[in-house]
Amino acid sequence: MADQATSIRPVNIGNLELYSVETGRFMLDGGAMFGVVPKTLWSKKITPDDKNRIPMAARCLLIRSKSTDRLYLVDNGCGDKFNEKMSSIYSLDFEHSDLERSLDQIGVQPEDVTDLVFTHLHFDHCGGTTTYNAKGDLEHRFSNAIYHVNKRHWETATHPNAREKASFLKENIQPISEYDKLNLVDDRHVFEDGFSMLPFDGHTIGQQLPFIYDDERSLVYAADLIPTYAHVPLPWVMGYDMHPLQTLTEKEPFLNEAAENGWYLYLEHDANHEIITIQKENGKFSVDKTLRIRDLV
């Protein structure tokens, strides 16, 4: 492993060191991101461009365990396999950041990663797993890592319904299916003390959110349950969700716990807000504080 970059300090929760990893920016349709919420409301929170798209982060989380020497990477962004047309549709921006450059700034090379933890396998969460080599063949970027996917989600990803099929790209899923270190985990899988997974089924069946905690602090990698700060209010549910009423049902107890216990919610897709905390007033949830991971040091 390369020497750790001295300019980047980790956040410590228990025996786990946490690093924010930016893998690039992209854009998605604002209407799809906010479902039935009118544009007159959501556009006050996040301004769309002239094509009605809003900026999205692909923010991952690197976790180094001082107890087990494991190096976990949660999700890995869109990747670089899109052709010119698809790159234009999603306005992929790797000038802002890219996966390997961000890891290098921490002092980590892809081969150092021991575990890839996937929240789910939509293209913007697993596209960086593989890349095309000079011969045009797909190769695994994290050659020494075990791939961890929720067992129920794997069934969904490999047998998708017609609506969700476009999110499970063959060039992403097939190499994972053929990988000899694929590990299918059950709901609420525990990786080690202070690091477990929370299952949610509204966005896609078997989405799993990393829950990192000690006696003082808890952080949840919110993935697509709370993709941006604007999605905190209960009815603000994505049009991309396969089961929006399930999302609504899942959000309320989750946000109750977040508000009551002061959880830090780490936002994968919010271009401008990295971590938020939640407050509840008069039965309604809203953002309390906005922070960056370095603020938790």
Nearest to 143 by CA among 122, 112, 119: 112
pLDDT at residue 258 tops 50: yes
Higher pLDDT, 9 or 12: 12
- Are 136 and 126 in contact by the 8 Å Cβ rule? The answer is no
The CA distance from 148 to 116, in Å, is 6
pLDDT of the residue at 160: 96
The CA distance from 113 to 130, in Å, is 14
pLDDT in tens, 27-83: 999 999 999 999 999 999 999 999 999 999 999 999 999 999 999 999 999 999 999
pLDDT at residue 4 tops 50: no
pLDDT of the residue at 8: 80
pLDDT in tens, 124-149: 999 999 999 999 999 999 999 999 99
pLDDT of the residue at 1: 43
The CA distance from 235 to 244, in Å, is 9
pLDDT of the residue at 9: 84
- Residue 55 identity: P
pLDDT of the residue at 6: 37
pLDDT of the residue at 7: 55
All structural domains of the chain: 11-296 (3.60.15.10)
pTM: 0.96
Rg (CA), the chain: 18
